[in-house]
Amino acid sequence: MEWAVAGALGGWAAARLAGADRLQFAEAWAVPLLSFTPQVTAAAWASALLLRGTGPAAAAAVAGAALTAAVGPRAVPSRQPPAAGPVLRVLTANLLVGRAAAEVVVELACRKHADVLFVQEFTVQAAARLRRAGLDDLLPHRVTQPMPHGSGIYARYPLRGGPPAAPVSAARCTARLDLPSGQFVQLACIHAAPPKPVWSPAATARWRGHLSALPAPGDSPLILAGDFNATLDHAQFRRLLRRGYVDAASQAGNGLSLTWGPRPGRRLTLLAIDHVLIDRRCAVLTTSAHWLTGSDHRALYAELRLPAPHSRRDQASPKP
């Protein structure tokens, strides 16, 4: 029995390090399972201490060390680039089909002095409740798509609605944010299709297609924020990062902060699937996750420093 436990942990470590979810014949089972790699890492170390046999305990310790090498860096703050532009405070919240308490969302945006709020699972009813709670006074500019699973971007500064996202993309809503400094930032509110029903190859392929269709950063700063339905233990998500992004929470050493739980209103959270992605020229000052009454997600806040404009051309780019 002890060797079975050690073998399972070793197999998990091998699958994670090899990126088994990159393989189409394996992704239907690998994608949901590898989501829980941080928990399995803790279980590996616990097994190394609790297993009585020397061999199984050593094998569990090796698996724990290998998984820690993959998971550990996201809990360590990274050195930031020398960004010299303005500070931008962003907040993202999945409203669970509009069920999140609007007052809590607005209070959090006010307390954090958010400049931009990204919302997912946004509805017409949620828009009305947010307006009654005072969001339009706090963030008067918006680009929204209120549907049962719509998205929206609210901002302190003027927004210009972006071109429609590709049908297969997780970018449900896009906009350009014009800052008082004359600089502008491209924004995309993300809600990737979840890879469910679990073990479904079609669902996993749809999830993969949504993430792979997201754009790479361009000349101007680009921020992707929202519910990616993906963790840093998914090869597809790491492939997106390699296109020129960093995960803000991991940059701040908070990459193990969990943002989703299976039951709304409960404190149990299991996965870190909400993210703020920024291009590598931006610096992360701080991030934090916050309980969101009525939702099964926690809101994610990030304080960023943008790069200084490279040229006058960056400030006067043609309107989208």
CA distances from 47 to 70, 152, 209 (A): 18, 45, 37
Distance CA 78, CA 246 (A): 10
Number of separate helices (H) and strands (E) present in the chain = 11, 12
Contact (CB, 8 A) for 123 and 144:
no
**pLDDT tens track, the chain, 320 positions:** 999 999 999 999 999 999 999 998 999 999 999 999 999 999 999 999 999 999 999 999 999 999 999 999 999 999 999 999 999 999 999 999 999 999 999 999 999 999 999 999 999 999 999 999 999 999 999 999 867 679 999 999 999 987 766 666 899 899 999 999 999 999 999 999 999 998 999 999 999 999 999 999 988 999 999 999 999 999 999 999 999 999 999 999 999 999 999 888 667 899 999 999 999 999 999 999 999 999 999 999 999 999 988 644 444 443 33
116-122 and 87-94: which strand pairing?
Answer: parallel
Of the candidates 81, 80, 104, 78, the residue with the CA atom closest to the CA atom of residue 91: 104
Composition of the chain by helix, strand, coil, percent to 5 = 35, 25, 40
pLDDT at residue 247, as a whole number: 98
Cα torsion at 279, 284, 288, 294 (round to 10°)?
A: -30
Q: Which two tokens stand for residue 170?
A: 């997780």
**Which amino acid makes up residue 264?**
P
Q: What is the DSSP letter of 229?
A: S
Predicted confidence at residue 148, as pLDDT, reads 67
103 phi/psi in degrees, rounded to 5? -65, -35
Alpha helices in 228-272 (DSSP H): 235-241, 248-251
- Nearest one of 116, 163, 126 to 292, comparing CA atoms: 126
Q: 254: burial class by Cβ within 10 Å (0-12, 13-18, 19+)?
A: buried
pLDDT at 319: 37
Q: How far apart are CA 44 and CA 5, in angstroms?
A: 9
Q: Looking at residue 145, what is its pLDDT?
A: 85
Give me 35's structure tokens. 């989501």
Place of tokens 């960093």: 246
pTM of the model: 0.93
